[in-house]
Structure 1
């Protein structure tokens, strides 16, 4: 089918939805006879420090599952200090700019956005070289930044971000949006732009596990992922009330709120909240076999955002307790994947937990089987990719 380049800020062995999403895209393109190259920074996310195998390196070229991965230098940081974060973004941006300007690249290029600055630099250089630009938009920036209070409306940074956003939409030949809301937003700016829905579905043979139901144990609710600003896991720990309920909350992951979450749980008198740290996927899935319900929280309703955990947990067969609003809420309801609580409403969440505590393990087990079957039918990465290939997207 030819050569294709993917430009992204995240790629395994880094963790998180963004890295997983791009890896699945790369692997699916390879399976469909594309020669795939990924251009990304040296691995550092989410800890904000270079992984041991990349320390002391300026650039690294790897072959991962037949995907050629070229990693460029970055000054890594997950600091809350704005200057340090800016230096980190600029460090990779500079290397990316000169690489794209002077190195030979395939005619077809997939550019991941956000980060907005990196996608702007990529689109700018690639448009000068008359490449086919396929923009993959997973979140709306600066819209999400405003909703998360990272940017102020009409500030200088906001106005610059709006310019960058409109530029990449305009120059892209076509756009992949992770949600219907993203596509709607893009069409309000450029009504004629060709857009396609591209959900973050998992690859089923990679995630299928045999779930077990432990009848004599409490109902185990878990969160597995990043502890970032958008997820609001610390606030979740602080405000959910498990007292006198037959429910435990288990947390797996890493990120900016990790230290604060650990400190809170160690001082919590309920003793029904447990922190397990970040685990490799196989080890995590082995532990999760005996768990019951996945919780998917967002700190606030973010327009355009659909947490990929909905699809991943559905693929595993877990009922979902969704606490994030927006399009994700509709997906859970329409596909009978579990329960929905009003976003930012902890009274509603705690009332829902009371209801869940009354469920029998046999009821939960029945839900698991139904959700697993439903997810195989609806959240199918193979069908999605075949549709996009038939439409000539790649």
Structure 2
């Protein structure tokens, strides 16, 4: 059985799209005959503190569904203090560096990027060991950081990040990109680099539509995911207008904006918006089964970014209200998955909500069925993995 290692900053029981994405990749490779191991930090995300089962431990090795998971020491933090955040990042980087230098690893290694510093250190060490490096690029950094105004263009941090980015693209044996924009960006700098599209398709193993459409109930729109700066859910709650509409917005998740969202909703003025906190994936899907539409927002258009929620909830049968710009708009429109509102344009978003409010539950039920059928055909993880295996990517 051929061995392959995955290096990631996130892995279940941590929650969120990044952890789910890497787990699905690991499980699918295992199903296709690979002996898969994962190196990641001790579980701490998104709370920014070690989960109870990892407290007081320097490293942990465990087996999760035939995947060997090696968790290394990290000093976790979600502090806004830049020095504390840097300390947190550096702690896992040091652990990972020691592991890669001194522990024997397979010939083939998948490196997740971002985080950019993690991928730089991984690619650097692995290139010295002549490994086959499969770089899995989910977002373009530092470009995304510039667009989110997290760093300033031509600042020291920007120039250092550009060096890291160029290094990992150059040294990687081949590159997986989650969007056509990512592939185009890399090819524009390294035209001879072997690049392959690898969408973040989910693996639900759902053979038939399991959603319930409740008559005589408001139309229930939900957001489920990270409550961070990039998603802009706080601003969404502030500026969305549901007055006089038979629509409710339900929010599930955790992140840096959680407390502000709870405070905003505590005054009782936003009665159509409900916050439910974080649930594990299976419980969340069960809770969502009686909802109608998934909203997928981004605060600003981020080049290269395609939110995995489009695939995650489309494959369950939810029509998508997309509010993020970029390649995601094309995917929603071309596959007739729902509605697109111009990113950052709340007048357009509220107009789309008024349009949605006029739909009958019968029309919504038909939309759910059509979305489910389309996504089952177009967003197939098994076919994608088998194609990449045939191309000898792994």
Q: Same fold (TM over 0.5)?
A: yes
Q: Does 1:136 align with 2:142?
A: no
The answer to whether structure 1 residue 233 and structure 2 residue 225 are counterparts is no
1:221-241 residue CA offsets vs partner (Å, 9 max, x unmatched): 000111011100000000001
- The C-alpha deviation readout for 1:244-295, integer Å capped at 9, x for no partner, is 1111100011111111001111114131000011112222122211111100
Q: 1:370 to 1:139 in 2, by over 3 A?
A: same
SS in 1 for 2:205: helix
* Deviation string, structure 1 residues 349-371 (Cα, Å, up to 9, x no partner): 01111111110000000000000
Q: Give the aligned partner of residue 201 of structure 1.
A: 201
Q: Please report the TM-score for the alignment, with normalisation by the length of structure 2.
A: 0.99
**Matched residue of 1:212: which SS?**
coil
1:204 deviation in Å?
A: 2.9
Deviation per CA, 1:172-194: give whole Å up to 9, x if none.
00000000000000011111100
The answer to whether structure 1 residue 291 and structure 2 residue 262 are counterparts is no
> What's the offset of the Cα at 1:207?
9.3
In the alignment, the residues of structure 2 paired with residue 284 and residue 30 of structure 1 have an alpha-carbon distance, to the nearest angstrom, of 26
State how far apart, in whole Å, the 1-side matches of 2:392 and 2:289 are: 40
Name segments (4+ residues, structure 1) moved above 3 Å.
206-209
- 2:387 matched residue in structure 1: 387
Deviates more, 1:215-224 or 1:261-270: 261-270
SS in 2 for 1:296: strand
In structure 2, how many angstroms separate the alpha carbons of the residues matched to 1:265 and 1:353?
Answer: 20
CA contact (8 A) 1:117 1:164 kept: yes
Task: State the aligned residue count.
Answer: 394
Where does residue 269 of structure 1 map in the other structure? 269
Cα distance in 2 between the residues matched to 1:93 and 1:268:
44
Correspondence for 1:52: 52
Partner Cα distance (1:57, 1:207) in 2? 41
* Cα distance in structure 2, aligned partners of 1:129 and 1:149: 36
Structure 1 position 43 matched with structure 2 position 43:
yes
The CA deviation at 1:34 is 0.6
Are 1:186 and 2:220 an aligned pair?
A: no
Quickly say closer, same or farther: Cα 1:10–1:127, change in 2 above 3 A.
Answer: same
Query: SS at 2:43's partner residue?
Result: coil
**Aligned residues of 1:209 and 1:289 also touching (Cα < 8 A):** no
Q: Deviations over 1:81-113 (max 9, x none)?
A: 111111011000001111101110000000000
> 8 Å contact 1:208–1:315 — kept in the other structure?
no
- Is the 8 Å Cα contact of residues 223 and 294 (structure 1) preserved in structure 2? yes
For residues 75 and 281 of structure 1, the distance between their equivalents in structure 2, rounded to whole angstroms, comes to: 26
| Alpha-carbon distance change, 90 to 35 in structure 1, aligned in 2, over 3 angstroms | same
Q: Would the aligned equivalents of 1:209 and 1:285 in 2 still touch at CA under 8 Å? A: no
Say if 2:207 is the partner of 1:210: no
What CA distance in whole angstroms lies between the structure 2 residues aligned with 1:48 and 1:204? 28
Q: CA RMSD of the aligned region, Å?
A: 1.0
Deviation at 1:208, TM superposition (A): 6.7
Correspondence for 1:111: 111
| 1:341 aligns to 2:354 (yes or no) | no
1:18 & 1:46 partners in 2: Cα distance?
11
Do the aligned residues in 1 keep the contact of 2:209 with 2:372 (CA within 8 Å)?
no
In 2, the alpha carbon distance for the partners of 1:282 and 1:266 equals 28
Distance 2:208 2:124 in 1: 40
Matches within 5 A, 1:83-98: 83-98=83-98
**Contact preservation (8 Å) 1:14, 1:44:** yes
Which consecutive residues of structure 2, in runs of 5 or more, have no partner in the other structure?
A: none
Deviation at 1:209, TM superposition (A): 5.9
Distance in 1 separating the partners of 2:309 and 2:270: 27
Counterpart-to-counterpart distance in 2, 1:206 and 1:87: 42
| Contact 2:209-2:369 at 8 Å conserved across structures | no
How far apart, in 1, do the equivalents of 2:346 and 2:256 lie? 22
8 Å contact 1:207–1:315 — kept in the other structure? no
1:14-50 deviations in Å (ceiling 9; x for gaps): 1111111110100011011111010000000111111
Counterpart-to-counterpart distance in 2, 1:295 and 1:207: 23
Aligned to 1:7: 7
Q: Structure 1, residues 308-334: CA drift from partner, whole Å, max 9, x if none?
A: 000011110000000000000100000
Moved more, 269-278 or 160-169: 269-278
Contact 2:206 2:316 in 1 (8 A): no
